[in-house]
Amino acid sequence: MKIGEEMQLTIHAKGDKVNVLSHLLAKNPENLYERNHKGHIIRLFYDRFTDNEVEATIYAVPDPIVLTRDRANTYDITHYINDREFAVSSIFLSFIRSALSTGLNGLPKDEYREWVDHEFDYTFSFGPVSTSLKEKELEGLFGPLGFELSFMYPYGKGSPHYLVLKGKTTLQRGLRQLYVLIPVIDNYKHYYIDEKEREKLERYGEGWLSTHPQKSFIIQKALRFKELFAKMEESNINPKPVPSKDKVSLNVQRYERIIQIINAAEDKESIVDFGSGEGKLSTKLGFVNGVKEILAVEPSERETLKASKRFNEAASHNQFNMPQTIWGSLFYYDERLKHKDVMILCEVIEHIDIDRLKKVMDTILGQYQPKLLIITTPNSEYNERYDLGQHYRHEDHRFELTRTEFTSWCHERSHGYPYLCSISGIGDEDEKFGSPTQICVFEREEL
């Protein structure tokens, strides 16, 4: 396996007539496979190809031409916000799924169908991997599948590393196991998890997942909490009840509190909704009296398209103030966002690596200088009510803070800037754990 900067998966196989692998993958060893997918170049090539030994590598790298040419329209810069996007994860798997579809589905040409269930000695090597799981925990996932697991740390311990799996299996089974377990070990999914994800897990997990000793852990990580709770209910296992009001309307309560604060503000003509997603909050802001400009800033093109549709539907109301969508990120300075009356980060900061937040806050408080900055984030203490154990509320959260930690963080970030902090809770308050959401309002003092 050649170590490079790109996300990659190497498939190495040995055995009599193993060159049939090219037909199982539907990739000609004489040709370089190259496609462009979502701003990435996907390549598959053979390092070695004989009757008894085959090695194929597939990798993905950002396409600089597409990134430059279509930057304002088609490319989703969410891929460049967090370092995890450069690691092998569900994003990488989505990039290479089309290239490996014949192998995953076990549907080569008819004359090679008999080889779909044929076992060879395989080595699957992939990386870089960024995971919080310890080596023994990783061995607990792959060992029961018959794989011998080893690790490569090309840049030293603690750095993103590469996993090497050796075992006797079929190509289809091996690929399907990787498609289930790679998102589990990365603990990150970049797309919405719905009923199709359950169906995919059942399909790819057929024949091995039901007997895996870590089955519950895998399902929990693969489907996350909504589907996990549903499965527990179907199995007549009763989890600790989640407060029904919070489960249904906590998001609405956040929006209502934010709008309440804006209504009470003296200056509210211009508002920036950072991380506006599919536009739910920005739509509500469009009906607030006194608001003249709403900038809905979002790095995801897909979410921005959903927001635009939502805004157009709301535009049928005469009193709706149409928000302006801006394709942008907290990590890219934008002159258009300076000196607005209100800036909002609703459930945003916890999606950013905490050591990168200082620079974000310095940009907001030091350069954008809104008169009012509103930040909401989960209260990690309240997770006890959800019976989440050591898990965060969302698979993409990089951290969650206690009330004390959040208070300290807010005051530290405002230090040196002319802002006063006001911190409170949102949602039903528990006597021991506080409210599920915490909110800080940074109010700029007149100089």
Average pLDDT, 10 consecutive residues per value, the chain (447 residues): 68 97 95 82 94 95 58 40 54 85 90 95 91 88 96 66 94 95 73 61 90 89 54 37 50 93 94 95 95 94 91 91 93 93 96 91 96 96 82 85 96 94 92 94 87
Contact 78, 89 (CB under 8 A): no
Say yes or no: 185 and 250 in one domain. no
Q: Over the Cα atoms of the chain, what is R_g?
A: 25
**Overall size of the chain counted in residues:** 447
Which pLDDT value is given to residue 235? 40
Q: What is the pLDDT of residue 290?
A: 94
pTM for the whole structure: 0.50
Q: Report the half-sphere exposure of 275 (CA within 13 A, side-chain side).
A: 17
**Which residues span the domain enclosing 296?**
244-444
Long-range contacts of 199-203 (CB under 8 A, 24+ apart): 203/176
On whether both 168 and 297 belong to a single domain, the answer is: no
pLDDT of the residue at 231: 43
Indicate whether 278 and 426 sit together in one domain: yes
Q: Is there a single domain that holds both residue 18 and residue 91?
A: yes
Return d(Cα 179, Cα 190) in angstroms, integer: 14
Give the helix/strand (H/E) hosting 440: strand 437-444
Together in a domain, 187 and 288: no
Q: What is the CATH number of the domain that holds 40?
A: 3.30.1610.20
In 210-339, DSSP assigns E strands to: 270-274, 293-298, 324-327
Assigned domain for 87 exists: yes
Task: Output the pLDDT for position 9.
Answer: 94
Residue 321 lies in a domain: yes
Q: How far apart are CA 118 and CA 115, in angstroms?
A: 5
pLDDT at 447: 61
Sign of CA dihedral 114, 117, 122, 126: positive
Residue with tokens 């916890």: 350
Closest CA to 255 of 298, 287, 226, 225: 287
295 plus 437 within the same structural domain: yes
Determine the Cα–Cα distance for residues 243 and 432; give it in Å rounded to an integer. Answer: 15
184 part of a folded domain: yes
Backbone angles phi, psi at 58, to 5 degrees: -120, 135
